[in-house]
Chains A and B, each alone.
Chain A
Amino acid sequence: AQSVTQLGSHVSVSEGALVLLRCNYSSSVPPYLFWYVQYPNQGLQLLLKYTSAATLVKGINGFEAEFKKSETSFHLTKPSAHMSDAAEYFCAVSELNTGFQKLVFGTGTRLLVSP
Chain B
Amino acid sequence: EAGVAQSPRYKIIEKRQSVAFWCNPISGHATLYWYQQILGQGPKLLIQFQNNGVVDDSQLPKDRFSAERLKGVDSTLKIQPAKLEDSAVYLCASSLVGRSPLHFGNGTRLTVT
Binding site for B on A (CB under 8 A): 9, 32, 34, 36, 41-46, 49, 51, 90, 92, 94, 96-98, 100-108
Q: Select the residue from B43, B50, B56, B93 with max chain A CB neighbours within 10 A.
A: B43
Q: On chain B, which size bracket covers the interface?
A: 20 to 34
Q: B88 in the interface, Cβ–Cβ < 8 Å? A: no
Pairs across A and B, CB under 8 Å, 20 listed? A34-B101, A41-B109, A42-B107, A43-B91, A43-B93, A43-B104, A44-B91, A44-B104, A90-B43, A98-B55, A100-B31, A100-B48, A101-B95, A101-B100, A102-B56, A103-B45, A103-B102, A105-B42, A107-B41, A108-B42
Instruction: Give bound CA distance, A51 to B40, whole Å.
Output: 28
Q: B4 in the interface, Cβ–Cβ < 8 Å? A: yes
Residues of B within 8 A of A101 (CB): 31, 95, 98-100
Q: How many A-B residue pairs have CB under 8 A?
A: 61
Instruction: Give bound CA distance, A43 to B41, whole Å.
Output: 14
| Interface residues of A, dominant DSSP | strand
CB contact between A100 and one of B40, B55, B106 (< 8 Å): that residue: B55
CB contact between B45 and one of A32, A36, A102, A107 (< 8 Å): that residue: A102
Q: B25 in the interface, Cβ–Cβ < 8 Å? A: no
Instruction: Give bound CA distance, A68 to B103, whole Å.
Output: 26
Instruction: Give bound CA distance, A43 to B33, whole Å.
Output: 13
Instruction: Give bound CA distance, A107 to B37, whole Å.
Output: 10
A49 touches B105 (CB 8 A): no
A43 touches B99 (CB 8 A): no
Name which residue of chain B comes closest to A110, CB basis: B40
Apart from A42-B106, A90-B43, what are 15 other A-B pairs with CB-CB below 8 Å? A43-B4, A43-B93, A43-B105, A44-B43, A45-B104, A46-B102, A90-B42, A96-B99, A100-B48, A101-B31, A101-B99, A101-B100, A103-B102, A107-B42, A108-B40
Instruction: Give bound CA distance, A108 to B44, whole Å.
Output: 12
Residues of A within 8 A of B103 (CB): 46
Name which residue of chain A comes closest to B100, CB basis: A101
Instruction: Give bound CA distance, A90 to B103, whole Å.
Output: 14
Residues of B within 8 A of A45 (CB): 104
